[in-house]
Amino acid sequence: MPAEQLAGLSDLFVVGAVLLYVFAMVAFALELAYGQARAGAAPARRRLVAAGAGGPGEEIAEDAPEPKVVQAAPWAAKAGVAALGMAWFGWAANLGAIITRGLAVERWPWGNMYEFVVAICFAVVTAFLVTQVRQNVRFLGAFVMLTAALGLGFAVKVLYTAAGPVVPALNSYWVAIHVTAAIVASGLFTLAGVSGVLYLVRGDGLSRLPSRADLERVAHRAIVLSFPIWTFAVIAGALWADRAWGRYWGWDPKEVWSFITWVAYAAYLHARVTAGWRGRAATIVQLVAFACLLFNLVGVNIFISGLHSYADVAGAR
């Protein structure tokens, strides 16, 4: 198939992925809206037990009463299953867009911001679907699908770059190493970011969202997996920089913000391990780190010029 047709097919796959992600988002939202609702965990009550002979009483903890439950609509679970199926079809379309784009340009298909964002949306959905295989996280589905659909829409409307060659600096096997690692880590970090936002939104009252403990657990596991991958991506970027420009580090804006992002996530993990931070404080730290990641991936490339800026918008490195 000619390169022009492959490029056009890639664009159609992106449109199909957007539509499927939107349909999946609606179905996930219906399951969430009409599924089982549960109150947030109530704190343990304490009561005073009198000691004998008029001595001082002893305060002991009692278990909190069982949270109130509102049963789900009979069809809610079916909507969730249908949403999961559409999410897989959207994932396949997203993958098809990446593969056909790569065949059209005969290189790794993340040499500019358009291709990079399409790949990150694929990574976000992949992280969600793989996590779903291991544990039920369908409650994240509507928000992950919304993130992926908006990301692809942003790529098409703002970042679109016609299929073609890239600058010589990107014609390197390091694209397959450094950029791929950054994409995988970014997908996992985004899953954690979505969980963190929901943690702050979820109140203590009746809600169809899972408990804050479950949301925090999902976010923490995603960050534990993604942090070493991001570390590898930063190191691989330094090795590529030495090969391309003759130095490992040059305080380029992209390099600086990649390091800032690394420090922010390291601070989150360090605070959990050494200071025992949990709950709202830890979630705020990880969301600050996620904001650094977003600025590094999009803001730096669009608004700040540097050695990592290519073509009309910016490069993916």
Print burial letters for 166-175: b (CB count within 10 Å at least 16), e (below 16): beebbebebb
Average pLDDT, the chain: 83
Count CB neighbours of 204 within 10 A: 13
**Distance between CA atoms of residues 268 and 266, nearest Å:** 5
**Distance between CA atoms of residues 260 and 254, nearest Å:** 10
Q: Which of 93, 80, 103, 85 is nearest to 14 (CA)?
A: 93
**Distance between CA atoms of residues 138 and 81, nearest Å:** 9
Higher-confidence residue of 104 and 35: namely 104
**Distance between CA atoms of residues 214 and 68, nearest Å:** 18
pLDDT band of 275, cuts 50, 70, 90: confident
Range name among 44-48, 128-132, 181-185, 266-270 with the lowest pLDDT average? 44-48
**Distance between CA atoms of residues 10 and 32, nearest Å:** 32
Whether 306 has a pLDDT exceeding 60, the answer reads: no
Q: What is the largest CA-CA distance in the chain?
A: 95
Print burial letters for 76-85: b (CB count within 10 Å at least 16), e (below 16): beebbebbbe
Between strands 37-39 and 206-207, the pairing is antiparallel
Q: How far apart are the first and last CA of the chain?
A: 29
CA trace torsion 92, 217, 296, 20 (10° rounding): 20
**Distance between CA atoms of residues 28 and 84, nearest Å:** 8
Global pTM?
A: 0.83
pLDDT band of 209, cuts 50, 70, 90: confident
Q: What pLDDT is attached to residue 64? A: 46
